[in-house]
Amino acid sequence: MKMSRFNVVSLTLGFAFLYLPILILITYSFNESRLVTVWGGFSTKWYGVLFQDERFLGAAWVTFYVAFISASIATVLGTMAAYVLVRGAKFRGRTLFSGMIYAPLVMPEVITGLSLLLLFISIGLDRGGFTIILAHATFSMCYVSVVVSSRLVSFDRSLEEAALDLGATGWQAFRLVTLPIIAPAVAAGWLLGFTLSLDDLVIASFVSGPGATTLPMRIFSEVRLGVSPKINALSAILIGMVALGVIVASLTTKRAAQRP
């Protein structure tokens, strides 16, 4: 079907609004000048400066470490919560339990961060990487639960019943039948929790402590003093990582769909 001129213009403006700032940022990450708004020639020196900055390297390590651990914890707890909500028998307080699971979805991050800060102070827990992991796992768990629940709702339970009829225990039926089938949803929940942890600034600002600065916190503190081409280089690297991940995921999904 031939697109009208209005649709072409609308799509062009929409994509330009979304991706033109990203292209400008990537272009200026190769700027020779220290001034981010003045082009001084092509150079990759800011990438070298970035990889020599121990503060950014340390913050990046903390960020990926926290994201990996918190996403893994959130995936396990979120999958368990989803299974209880979808497959579990009715119990007293089920409505309250489901409401508490989904509350972080609509709760402002400032409220979540402040409440967790007060909790850690009240129990005497020193703030640091461990508290960031707990906080990120707390608000990521609800997203995992939603994703896994949507898959469990449409799951054909006759497959589990067939495994049980053949002599498998309940745990064996879950491990050998249910879990492999819902594995894509579990993996999607893990990736979602990992991404949310990488992107978080507000909650981490409340629950972090000395020696536990995440990359978004470091970027925010640097930008407040003025945008440096080093920040552009870091942003370009992150954009490249995201783009590579999207391409790999798309190719993997396409190949899986083409298999007989």
* Mean residue pLDDT across the chain: 84
Residue ranges of domains in the chain, CATH in brackets: 55-258 (1.10.3720.10)
CA triple 228-19-58, angle to 5 deg: 40
pLDDT range class, residue 89, cuts 50, 70, 90: low
pLDDT at residue 135 in the model: 92
List, for residues 62-76, the tens digit of each pLDDT value. Answer: 889 999 999 999 999
pLDDT range class, residue 136, cuts 50, 70, 90: very high
Q: For residue 42, what are the β-bridge partners?
A: 31
List, for residues 98-133, the tens digit of each pLDDT value. Answer: 778 888 888 888 888 899 989 888 988 888 888 999
Alpha helices in the chain (DSSP H): 5-28, 45-51, 54-87, 94-106, 109-122, 129-153, 158-165, 170-173, 179-199, 202-207, 215-223, 229-258
pLDDT at residue 257 in the model: 67
> Mean pLDDT across the stretch 34-46?
80
Please spell the DSSP secondary structure of 28-89, one letter per residue: HTTBSSSSTTS---B--HHHHHHHT-HHHHHHHHHHHHHHHHHHHHHHHHHHHHHHHHHHSP
pLDDT at residue 260 in the model: 58
> Mean pLDDT across the stretch 141-167?
84
> Mean pLDDT across the stretch 161-181?
82
pLDDT range class, residue 86, cuts 50, 70, 90: confident
- Range among 27-31, 70-74, 201-205 with highest mean pLDDT value: 70-74
pLDDT at residue 53 in the model: 84
Task: Provide the 3-class DSSP secondary structure of residue 2.
Answer: coil
Task: Provide the 3-class DSSP secondary structure of residue 92.
Answer: coil
pLDDT at residue 96 in the model: 79
Check: CB of residue 227 under 8 Å from CB of residue 234: no
Q: Is the predicted pLDDT of residue 1 greater than 60, yes or no?
A: no
> How many Cβ atoms are within 10 Å of 243's Cβ, its own excluded?
11
Residue 29, class by beta-carbon neighbours within 10 Å (0-12 exposed, 13-18 middle, 19+ buried)? buried
Q: If you count them, how many residues does the chain have? A: 260
Q: Is the predicted pLDDT of residue 47 greater than 90, yes or no?
A: no
